[in-house]
Chains A and B, each alone.
Chain A
Amino acid sequence: MIIGISLISFFIMHLAPGDITTTEASFNPKASAESRQKLRELYSLDKPVIVQYGLWMKRMATLDFGTSFASHQRPVFWQTQDKDGNVTLGMIQEALPITLLINVLSLILIITIALPLGVISALRQNQLADRGITLFVFIGFAIPSFWLALMLMYWTGVQHTWLPISGLESMGHENMPWLAQMFDTLKHLTLPVFISGITGLAGISLFARNGMLEVLHQDYITTARAKGLSENRVVYGHALRNALLPLITILGLSIPGLIGGSVIAESIFAIPGMGKLFYDAVTMRDFPVIMGILTIGALLTLVGNLFADVAYAWADPRVRRGVAQ
């Protein structure tokens, strides 16, 4: 699987006309054809693509993603130490926690808001609350997130100055007590988390609603009602648990979308995460960084799906027993 991913991304990179030397040469008119050739040799760009892929895979196996073309040989993935003991932090090492934090927070936001919305909507089907929630869902699907981001930035950040609109820390962040520091970061994260969660929010409430509706019409719900259980027991004990199962899979599948969505949110709010790093790398044709992020992104997706499978087994005794047998 991971090999397939790396193959696809590697060959796409090399279909592209031009390479890092074109970009560097256009910035530096003095760069001669000779020095460009030297650069190519330095990065093994003069070898056939297959050889380059082999070299890259060999380093990949030891999680060595190489060094960036564009930003002074910084390591792409993890920190390195030179002979004087100076540590250079890896680019992904710095960016990944930020993006993960935002995505985990938006997943939490999605679950805590979308689930109740979906359940309410299903329980009051075709009533006013359901209609309202459905309208919200459709608009959430259709709204361009970058536009919503702009409007919210303008409204909460420029007109009212309630929330900061860019970066992760205010000026003087280092001098604050830690509680204030945390609050400061949270304030900076509010808008980005909301923006990257909005589409998922709409999607998951729709799924929760349809799942609940489907389950509520099953025979075992009628049985539960018939044996005189309270409505609460029926809804939360019997229906919700079963409706949650497909949602776990959907949440797992939505991870690539969340990661992809971080490009827009991060470049609008100037947050130094994976999305912004990727955008910058793409504009600089920085192959190692692009490859590194594509691979890490795909890895994250696989890990997410694994989590979903584990969660599924945890939530559904039938799957667990099937495994035990």
Chain B
Amino acid sequence: MMKKVLSNPLAIIGFAIIASIMLLALVAPFIAPYDPDAIDVKAILLSPSTSHIMGTDGLGRDVFSRMLYGARISLMVGFVAVGIATAIGIVLGAIAGFYRGWVDTVIMRIVDVMLSIPSFFLILAVIAFLSPSIWNIMIVIGLTSWMGVTRLVRAEFLSLRNREFVLAAQVLGAKDARLIFTHLLPNSLTPIIVSSILGIASAVLLESGLSFLGMGVQAPQASWGNILTDGKEYIQFAWWLSLFPGLAILLTVLGYNLLGDGLRDAYNPRSNQH
């Protein structure tokens, strides 16, 4: 499978994009030329130059430094939110798919209900009430995006449940927990990983959208979304404030999507046949 992924140029590009953004976020304190929150009234709205490669914002803060620190926030939100969603999804999906019956019905009804509430409305409402902070955002995005994983895990479990190796293990006296964790879950891991990677992409988009509406990461902490919101005010004479954060979000999401798609193609040979 790794070989197939490696032969897919798009997946490689996606991986390269993600890896380099992660690296930049990791070493941000060492390579950021300025303090991301340092206000400099003598350097307001400077256009990109050698001393400020992405220019400065309305408070004279260096945009490049803010972008680097913003990358940390965006990536962290993506990972933690998807981690929460995947954990919930695996637990509920495993229970539904393994035990079936009324437990399955109840869980799937809850999934249907959650899916029919426009999730952006729900997130917005909860965040506004809990006061916006980076932790609340991660938790709320996680709590409102587990439905896909649940369905996926359930479907995998349903199709694996009656396969010979599972039945054999059961006949040999394996307990439910052992069946679930050593037989069923490892065999459904690949689609879960693929959907998590694609989930990170949409969590990054969601976070930036919330920050853009002022319901996300709060100033002075930098996130790509709120750099963009600041930039909105100056769009007529400071294009760099809006252009760079937008491009960064675009690239990150594109990277995750390309990687996730490449992995799925490698895992699911049917989509390669055509």
Contact = CB atoms under 8 A, between A and B. Distances in A.
A120 to B, nearest CB: 15
B112 A264 contact: no
A142 B212 contact: no
A260 B126 contact: no
A214 B113 CA distance: 31
Nearest to A141: B257
B129 A144 contact: no
A256 B228 contact: no
A12 B143 CA distance: 12
A325 to B, nearest CB: 26
Interface string B117-145: 11111101110111000000000000000
A13 B117 CA distance: 14
A4 B254 contact: no
Nearest to B112: A1
A253 B118 CA distance: 11
B49 interface: no
SS class, residues of chain B in contact with chain A: helix
Given A144-B208, A210-B271, A263 B120 contact: yes
Interface residues of B, number: 45
Interface stretch (A171-179, A232-240, A297-305): A297-305
A249 to B, nearest CB: 13
A284 B229 CA distance: 21
Contact of B246 (A9, A12, A147, A283): A147
Contacts of A5: 113, 116-117
Q: Which of A9, A12, A18 has the most CB of B within 10 A?
A: A12
Nearest to B229: A146
A151 B121 contact: no
Contacts of B125: 9, 12-13, 278, 282, 290, 294
Nearest to A206: B261
A8 B117 contact: yes
B119 A147 contact: no
A1 B119 CA distance: 16
Interface of B: 109-110, 112-122, 124-126, 128-130, 201, 205, 208-209, 212-213, 215, 228, 231-232, 235-236, 239, 242, 245-246, 249-251, 253-254, 257-258, 271, 273-274
